[in-house]
Chain A
């Protein structure tokens, strides 16, 4: 498999002025993500994860080092449109990324800017709306939709560009549990059915647990990069950098500490229930 995203020794500083020094936010990131992967990026506020995400579609450019997306250097201004078509971004606040007063026009917005012919545009808009289960709402006004529905519209707008990769920066932070489930189900389907690479930045450990790979950032560096099972089994380390583990993982860890014979890498409710059952039936 080829790498869709290649990040090489990426450094980034926010420029200061005469009175305030530069602030180095990313301190040498090396990260490769393969086409079709589903990766969660975790880290507390200020760890640099959003800054990293903004480098993937050239909202920010490296102070030093390189970011390549599908072989395109993000610093190559000539290819900015190509790049953003390949790597789409979805942000936290659904209200800040919807521009039109009709759902289908919003999804078509980027395509119009790219000058996609009408027939093709029609096809892509309909397909994208169907993909996120919002086709029935195509003529509605976004203002009447729930947060979860708005986020799915935003995702449809990105999918319509037929990207290879979608970066989502805390897309569920402002949603209720129902909205979160809808958005997570949509993202997973895009990954599975269309093979789109997903980079999901999140504060929710249960969402990260559903990914295949978890990258943990702390103080501008990647400190862990492994399967969710392997990452979350390091309970103390994860907690020490201001993050959490799923409740089931924490319970298993607490029981182990108290001397129970229970695996340290429990990640799902099923596994947790199995382990407890074994303790009591043995």
Chain B
């Protein structure tokens, strides 16, 4: 069942001014419950405008956004509920931290939802564990923490609302490789526990290859494709043409294909490449 659906979604900025620009153009999309989706598209492709529609931060110029089958703008007074159900983590979310302690900062969202203390506590503790914040950090001021830790606090704050759909806009921007892997691993842990739908915007195809079941690609305000990861990376030439990258390892196998060495599979992670090559090598020896 689709959790999130768009029908002919169109959004035009500054209608009637010389700067009028259609940032999202007739997008039809169905995202199923529980999926882990990578969102790609270069700057100005419309991906940020698109995701801001999913929790009603922007209202479509035309078309619809449906959450659990219901038009989110049907009843304007209920838009607050939509924001509890679809959590959005912006880029560099650590700049939005403001509470005195880590605990309070994570508890801020659940508190606003009107939950009781016991439930708030459960959620803070569980998300803190998912995101890898040790219990002793919860009483500390978030401003004493490292950049990577602060970012995890900010992400936990949205996770603690247990939104049906969690959207993260470049959660790894500016982090070093170890920090990148850590945040993505923690998001995966949260996904395993809650089974909620997650969308992650990323420029790093290597990262996306490591977590996404499906990939959504925006190009020039239109939906370029929404499909399984291996199918999307199978179209590496088209992906490159629209200014995006495929993982380096995929490019190597494309090259080999060009030389007549076709392994017949889409390769987009190092682990898979290794297993595939070793298997084929041992089969050759067996012959």
Contacts A/B (CB < 8 Å), 29 sampled: A44-B178, A45-B175, A176-B203, A177-B203, A177-B244, A178-B42, A178-B43, A178-B244, A179-B42, A203-B177, A205-B177, A242-B176, A242-B177, A242-B179, A243-B177, A247-B248, A247-B270, A248-B248, A248-B249, A250-B270, A251-B249, A251-B273, A251-B274, A254-B270, A255-B274, A258-B274, A269-B251, A273-B252, A277-B256
Asked if B278 CB lies within 8 Å of chain A CBs, one says yes
User: Would you call the interface of chain A mostly helix, strand, loop, or mixed?
Assistant: helix
Asked if A223 CB lies within 8 Å of chain B CBs, one says no
User: Would you call the interface of chain B mostly helix, strand, loop, or mixed?
Assistant: helix
Asked if A101 CB lies within 8 Å of chain B CBs, one says no
**In angstroms, how far is the closest chain A Cβ from the Cβ of B244?**
6
Task: Using A178-B43, A276-B261 as known contacts, say yes or no to A92 and B178 having CB atoms under 8 A apart.
Answer: no
Q: Is the CB of A280 within 8 A of B261?
A: yes
Chain A residues with Cβ below 8 Å from B114 are none
Chain B residues with Cβ below 8 Å from A255 are 274, 277-278
Q: Is the CB of B248 within 8 A of A242?
A: no
Asked if B147 CB lies within 8 Å of chain A CBs, one says yes
**In angstroms, how far is the closest chain A Cβ from the Cβ of B38?**
14
Q: How far is the CA of A179 from the CA of B245 in the complex (A)?
A: 12
Query: B residues touching A (Cβ–Cβ < 8 Å)?
Result: 42-44, 146-148, 173-179, 203, 205-206, 243-245, 247-249, 251-252, 255-256, 259, 261, 270-271, 273-274, 277-278, 280-281, 284
Q: How far is the CA of A273 from the CA of B277 in the complex (A)?
A: 12
Chain A residues with Cβ below 8 Å from B252 are 247-248, 251, 269, 272-273, 276
Count, chain A residues at interface, CB 8 A? 40
Binary contact track A153-196/B, C-beta < 8 Å → 1, others 0: 00000000000000000100111111100000000000000000
Asked if A270 CB lies within 8 Å of chain B CBs, one says yes
Q: Is the CB of B255 within 8 A of A280?
A: no
**In angstroms, how far is the closest chain A Cβ from the Cβ of B258?**
9
Known: A176-B43, A243-B176, A276-B252. 18 other contacts (CB 8 A): A44-B177, A44-B178, A44-B179, A45-B148, A45-B176, A176-B203, A176-B243, A178-B42, A179-B42, A203-B174, A203-B176, A242-B178, A248-B252, A250-B270, A269-B251, A276-B261, A276-B277, A277-B259
